[in-house]
Amino acid sequence: MALTATASNHFKYALASKLIDLAADTIKAMLMRDGFVFNKDNHATLINVKTTKAATTIAISAALAITDSGNGFITAGFVPGNQIAISGFTEGGNNATKIISTVAAGTIVVTDTAGLVEEAAGDMVTVESNDEIIAENGYSVGGAALTSPVLTENDTTDKAIFTCADLDITATGGDLDPTPGAILYDNTNTEKTIIGYLDFDGDYTLVEDASLRLSNLKIETA
């Protein structure tokens, strides 16, 4: 497994704004669902991978887009690529799981409109995004915390360097869902800043009793 890392652009801003204290905050690693693709611009905080919007203003348009006359989709945190579960519509086919193609304040366009039909607003409809794997078989909601954090100054490379102990995630009682990578995020600050993404170079399935070890984790800031 060839591991590559990409920092979130918002992480750089959060550091400059003193929203993050790498030496003191709890940093967690969250395994992402099959098919997840990280975007360093869109994935800024935790709500960009896990969020909910429930309202009586949500409808399905004639063009089979999900619309919200309350214009709450951007504020809620939805971004392109989110896997969303829709529930609460009267038409059963509209209660489905879809992938967001584009999102605006009042409109979500999905990649596949199969099964959707036009339906007016009125019912309490919930649109929920969750790009984390299912919490089961030894994996907990929100992922696992990195331990033994150390922040040092390196005058040779002119960088501040964050390191931590190796992280082991073990499947117990069954296999874990396939995952293409892990998001690192700050679980201490209010906005839950996404630090970056560890790409596993393809889906990785952790079978029962096997462990996934993330070793030599390092965050370097110039």
CATH of the domain at 92: 2.40.30.180
Q: Which of 45, 29, 22 is nearest to 144 (CA)?
A: 29
CB 149 within 8 A of CB 23: yes
- Is the same domain home to 38 and 56? no
Pull the structure tokens for residue 23: 């030496």
- Is the same domain home to 34 and 112? no
pLDDT at residue number 28:
97
Total number of domains in the chain? 2
The domain boundary residue, chosen from 110, 130, 150? 130
Average pLDDT over residues 189-193: 97
Q: What is the pLDDT of residues 95-111, one digit of tens each?
A: 999 999 999 999 999 99
pLDDT at residue number 43:
98
Report the percent of the chain where pLDDT is more than 70: 99
- Is the same domain home to 196 and 96? no
Report the percent of the chain where pLDDT is more than 90: 86
Average pLDDT over residues 139-168: 92
- Is the same domain home to 140 and 215? yes
Range of the domain at 189: 4-46+134-221
- Is the same domain home to 119 and 93? yes
3-state SS string over the chain? CCCEEEECHHHHHHHHCCCCCCCCCCEEEEEECCCCCCCCCCCCEHHHCEEEEEECCEEECCCCCEEECCCCHHHHCCCCCCEEEEECCCCHHHCCEEEEEEECCCEEEECCCCCCCCECCCCCEEEEEECECCCCCCCCCCCEECCCCEEEEECCCCEEEEECCCEEEECCCCCCCCEEEEEEEECCCCCCEEEEEEEEEEEECCCCCCEEEECCCEEEEC
The domain boundary residue, chosen from 100, 130, 160? 130
| Distance in angstroms (rounded) separating the CA atoms of residues 77 and 45 | 9
pLDDT at 1 over 70: no
- Is the same domain home to 145 and 210? yes
Q: Which of 60, 24, 55 is nearest to 164 (CA)?
A: 24
Average pLDDT over residues 149-168: 90
pLDDT at residue number 222:
67
pLDDT at residue number 158:
86
| Distance in angstroms (rounded) separating the CA atoms of residues 22 and 14 | 11
Pull the structure tokens for residue 142: 């929100």
- Strand 179-186 and strand 159-163: the pairing is unpaired
pLDDT at residue number 216:
87
pLDDT at residue number 128:
98
The whole-model pTM stands at 0.93
pLDDT at 61 over 70: yes
Q: What is the pLDDT of residues 196-213, one digit of tens each?
A: 999 999 999 999 999 999
> pLDDT tier at 3 (50, 70, 90 boundaries)?
confident
- Is the same domain home to 138 and 42? yes
| Distance in angstroms (rounded) separating the CA atoms of residues 65 and 214 | 40
pLDDT at 218 over 90: no
pLDDT at residue number 2:
67
Q: How many CB atoms lie within 10 A of CB 91?
A: 13
- Is the same domain home to 78 and 17? no
Average pLDDT over residues 113-138: 97
The domain boundary residue, chosen from 97, 130, 163? 130
- Is the same domain home to 142 and 181? yes
pLDDT at residue number 215:
87
- Is the same domain home to 142 and 33? yes
Q: What letter represents residue 103's amino acid? A: V
pLDDT at 185 over 90: yes
| Distance in angstroms (rounded) separating the CA atoms of residues 124 and 95 | 12
Q: How many CB atoms lie within 10 A of CB 33?
A: 17
| Distance in angstroms (rounded) separating the CA atoms of residues 135 and 129 | 15
- Is the same domain home to 36 and 138? yes
